[in-house]
Amino acid sequence: MGGVRIVAIMKLRSIGLATALAVGSAGSMLAADADIAALKAEIAKNHDGAVARLQDWIRRPSVAAENRGFPDGADHLIALLKEVGFQHTERIDTTGKPGVFATLDAGAAKTVGIYFMYDVKQFDPTEWKVAPPLEARIVDRDGVGKVIIGRGATNQKGPQAAFLAALDAFRTSGRKPPVNLVLVAEGEEEIGSPNIRQIVYQPHVQAALAKTIGVILPMGTQGIDGGVTVNLGAKGVIEVELTSDGQAWGRGPMRDTHSSFKAMVDSPLWHLVQGLSTLVTPDGNTPLIDGIFENVRPLTEEEKVQIANAARKLTPRQYQAASGATKWIDDLPFQAALERLTSQPTVNIEGIHGGYTGPGGKTILPHRASAKLDLRLVPNQTAEEVLGKLKAHLVKHGYGDIDVNFTGGYNPTATSAEAAIIKAQVAVLKRNGVDPVLWPRLAGSYPGFVFTEPPLSLAAGHFGLGHGGGAHAPDEYFVIESSNPKVSGFDGAAASYVDYLHELAR
Amino acid sequence: MGGVRIVAIMKLRSIGLATALAVGSAGSMLAADADIAALKAEIAKNHDGAVARLQDWIRRPSVAAENRGFPDGADHLIALLKEVGFQHTERIDTTGKPGVFATLDAGAAKTVGIYFMYDVKQFDPTEWKVAPPLEARIVDRDGVGKVIIGRGATNQKGPQAAFLAALDAFRTSGRKPPVNLVLVAEGEEEIGSPNIRQIVYQPHVQAALAKTIGVILPMGTQGIDGGVTVNLGAKGVIEVELTSDGQAWGRGPMRDTHSSFKAMVDSPLWHLVQGLSTLVTPDGNTPLIDGIFENVRPLTEEEKVQIANAARKLTPRQYQAASGATKWIDDLPFQAALERLTSQPTVNIEGIHGGYTGPGGKTILPHRASAKLDLRLVPNQTAEEVLGKLKAHLVKHGYGDIDVNFTGGYNPTATSAEAAIIKAQVAVLKRNGVDPVLWPRLAGSYPGFVFTEPPLSLAAGHFGLGHGGGAHAPDEYFVIESSNPKVSGFDGAAASYVDYLHELAR
């Protein structure tokens, strides 16, 4: 559900991390460091092939909402995983789109879980101005360097391709990774991961994951300034489509009719608008669904301190650029706006449609109208709870006839700052001179719950250098060759996984 | 704005009017009656050519909302008018689509005004199931007879073509019409007649109209059962498009952004929904725009009697079939629902659109959303007043940034039951055994105000036998050959104008 793009704006101003990593820090020239240096050289040697692999991948879109590119996307990912050294690969068919399960046994002491998504967000080619969405063209971008343009470039194929390039460097240099890997992938992340349980809870998959120290989602976590934020979780989400229809309501017209009848006939479109209006405060900002705050846990003191620290290092301008907005709700000051971003559940209208929407007017009374909503959830809300409360609210307020079609979603996810996979991230970054912001949770969502909740109860997080932008938007990009020494290019991103896997192995 | 289709459902059960007209009523065999009989025979003789003319006309759509078929539609109408005997024809260009002005001097004592519209409503060919919208195919319709299918068939080309066929019968039989004619036509009726004043108030047009005894809109006023209602006016209307936009608001995103930002950023789409919700009661039925009822005149006792009479002759089933609804607002009984239909101003949402409306979901926070509204007006509201009150309401309630784009509309119109053109209608109908319902006003709208208000202050009404349906909807039709003796076909419709013009001449 697009965790990536949000992370991309939660970056610290920081020293030149990519440079620092390339040089290595003095006083830590352990045995592994020679391996790491060799692996980074190998990554550079393999660069052209790895980028070509990413381009080829972008040219094969899988879009779950459009039933496009299945099961091809899963099969192609399996081929990629085999190529970089996974000994076991397996397509896991579900009642929706297939998942992928793969393992790489390096004979190591520790095993790390990896989560991939092979699907991408829908795209409208007419909106892409820099390059077409499926050409994977590499272009110069002012102030950034050479970037690859394409749907999925940063969300999530670019970072995942960098991770594969890291593994490939082990293989082509005749080395074994320092940890074993268990990888699960899905093809429905962008529609709310409706069937991820069918993949992860396959007994042999669950058993394999249970042996890991946590699960990592490869991500280009650097901001345009090179800064990195370490996320300790993400909001949950549910997506629903609300439809008001004369037939279901038993009132209003059963087909579009002449608008003059409005004086004697009810309107399903007004019914939808008035039903929607009960869901939030008049300013559109605070949910009013009955009982929705019942299980909302306020920010802890630790989380408030994390946000206060972040507010000193982040800038409003970064958030303005990322959000396209110039003011925050209630004209809140920046830190309070960040607290709101992190702590508050939301009811958002993704889109609304009903009646005549062509040029000019058309005097009809529509018989049907729909709105697509997403609701973001915070601890300790659950997806099931909020969906139930939404439905109960509509019934109680006289809108029980409005159809609520749940199209996907899941619970919030949280991981402790003390988890091994988080501490390893902080250690790698700090060793290279970066003091990362610990951020309580992404305001975006990803299906980490499937790992962090029982029965697995694993830590889960995102990691990776590199920078991208435009997830879910036109002209999505990922940096291939950075013109900013503080920002890693594709090879730097791959190298960061070499560092991280070694750190996890310690 | 589709007065036609509403008239079409306000029909009486009545005796076989078409048959009665063909036979003539005993004891009134005046000199004119021989002429009338000859003219009706001439109409039958000209039938094939007249229907071919209608078919050709339907195949030439002018759609103002789509800027399609201009100025061709005006030029084609001019050619049709010349053909049937108008000596003077003139295109009146406006800042919008051109109008037409034409006169037919028959050397008669009286002059009658005629209003035509040459534009048609938009149409989506994929929705037409019986026949394509521009083929003008003649098909059998169960229980009705042979009908012509096409956009404009009943609204308004069919009835207008029948009127032209009546005039053509005078010409081809070597007779002069019993009245002089002054005709004005517009090509923007379906977008609210925004420029009709520029046509009607051209000094020479206004001067010509000032000499008329009133203005008639040809219409197929018969219901499926053959009944006829005489309308004494129509509601006014304004059409507006309301747009909420982050840029104009200065809040929310300036472009579509990721929905996770909802927790810190305002939503222009929610702003629109909440702004709309203040315009009507929660049931969507009663306008709440500040002061909107200030000038609403309640039904007079005479109007209530007219409605009570109508309620005895009309049936809920007729209104259910026409409206596509099975229940009335507040489950009102039929007569009360008819009073509501006639007396109440409305705020209707024609359509609403914003954000993502494709398959599945898309987690965006849209920067913009629009709703198209029509507001129907009753005496003594005016279009200018209601538009001003809508804007003031939005400002007062915190939605002053929402753009209100007025796309067309006009005042209500009313004509006395004592007007000569109305009395002539009633006389023609009664002489043929029909006791018409006098109906206070159409719930639909047409720009009669331009004739009934100063400076012209003329009577205005609709007249014509014949039956059609599906105005503004797919598979619009007009009856060519009726299988029901109570309902006129195309020739009967043409004959009704011969009768009416003679009655007006008395």
Same structural domain, B112 and B251: no
Residues of A in Cβ contact (< 8 Å) with B474: none
A7-21, B335-349, B446-460: which has the minimum mean pLDDT?
A7-21
> From the CA of B62, how many Å to the nearest CA of chain A?
14
pLDDT value of position B15: 25
ipTM of this predicted complex? 0.87
* Model pLDDT for residues B316-335, shown as the tens digit of each residue: 998 998 899 999 999 999 99
Q: Nearest-CA neighbor of A190 among A67, A331, A31, A336?
A: A67
Average pLDDT for B346-365 = 94
Same structural domain, B139 and B224: yes
Average pLDDT for B306-316 = 92
The answer on pLDDT for B2 being more than 90 is: no
Same structural domain, A205 and A87: yes
DSSP B230: E
Q: Which of A284, A355, A398 is facing B271, going by the closest CB pair?
A: A284
Q: Reduced to 3 states, what is the DSSP secondary structure of residue B464?
A: coil
Whether residue B320 lies inside any domain: the answer is no
pLDDT value of position A486: 87
Whether residue A289 lies inside any domain: the answer is yes
Whether residue B478 lies inside any domain: the answer is yes
> From the CA of A166, how many Å to the nearest CA of chain B?
30
- Separation CA B264–CA B257 (nearest Å): 12
The answer on pLDDT for B1 being more than 70 is: no
Pick among A68, A259, A335, A365 to test the B interface (most B CBs inside 10 A): A259
What's B85's domain CATH number? 3.40.630.10
Q: Do B253 and A323 touch (CB under 8 A)?
A: yes
**Other beta carbons less than 10 A from residue B368's beta carbon:** 22
- Separation CA A26–CA A67 (nearest Å): 52
pLDDT value of position A360: 86
Whether residue B327 lies inside any domain: the answer is no
Average pLDDT for A440-457 = 94
Residues of B in Cβ contact (< 8 Å) with A5: 258
Pick among A62, A363, A378 to test the B interface (most B CBs inside 10 A): A363
Same structural domain, B396 and B430: no
pLDDT value of position A398: 97
The answer on pLDDT for A472 being more than 50 is: yes
End-of-domain residue from the set B409, B426, B447: B409
pLDDT value of position B31: 58
End-of-domain residue from the set B386, B409, B432: B409
Whether residue A117 lies inside any domain: the answer is yes
Same structural domain, A282 and A430: no
Residues of A in Cβ contact (< 8 Å) with B337: 264
B430 pLDDT tier (thresholds 50, 70, 90): confident
End-of-domain residue from the set B409, B436, B463: B409
Same structural domain, B241 and B361: yes
Q: Do A325 and B246 touch (CB under 8 A)?
A: yes
Average pLDDT for A105-121 = 97
The answer on pLDDT for A254 being more than 80 is: yes
pLDDT value of position A10: 33
Alpha helices in B108-187 (DSSP H): 158-172
- Separation CA A283–CA B244 (nearest Å): 13
B283 pLDDT tier (thresholds 50, 70, 90): very high
Same structural domain, B247 and B379: yes
Domain span holding position B172: 3-233+412-505
Same structural domain, A98 and A110: yes
Whether residue B493 lies inside any domain: the answer is yes
* Buried/exposed code over B328-345 (b: 16+ C-beta within 10 A; e: otherwise): bbeeeebbbbbbbbbbbb
* Model pLDDT for residues B113-129, shown as the tens digit of each residue: 999 999 999 999 999 99
pLDDT value of position A313: 86
> Is the CB of residue A139 less than 8 Å from the CB of residue A149?
yes
* Model pLDDT for residues A19-56, shown as the tens digit of each residue: 233 333 433 445 578 889 999 999 999 999 999 999 99
Same structural domain, A494 and A435: yes
pLDDT value of position B30: 55
Residues of A in Cβ contact (< 8 Å) with B280: 270, 274
pLDDT value of position A19: 29
Whether residue B108 lies inside any domain: the answer is yes
pLDDT value of position A135: 97
Q: Do A325 and B355 touch (CB under 8 A)?
A: no
Q: Reduced to 3 states, what is the DSSP secondary structure of residue B371?
A: strand
Same structural domain, B146 and B244: no
* Model pLDDT for residues A386-404, shown as the tens digit of each residue: 999 999 999 999 999 999 9
Q: How many domains does chain B have?
A: 2
Greater model confidence, B112 or A361? B112
* Model pLDDT for residues B438-455, shown as the tens digit of each residue: 999 999 899 999 999 999
Same structural domain, A218 and A351: no
Q: Nearest-CA neighbor of A73 among A157, A168, A182?
A: A157
Same structural domain, A260 and A175: no
Whether residue A339 lies inside any domain: the answer is no
> From the CA of B357, how many Å to the nearest CA of chain A?
6
Greater model confidence, A408 or A32? A408
Please provide the average confidence, as pLDDT, over all residues in chain B.
92
**What's chain A's Rg over C-alpha atoms?**
24
* Model pLDDT for residues B6-59, shown as the tens digit of each residue: 333 332 222 223 333 333 343 344 557 888 999 999 999 999 999 999 999 999
What's A399's domain CATH number? 3.30.70.360
pLDDT value of position A30: 54
Distances (CA, A) of A61 to A36, A73, A126, A279, A381: 33, 7, 17, 36, 33
Distances (CA, A) of B241 to A357, B245, B385: 10, 13, 17
pLDDT value of position A202: 96
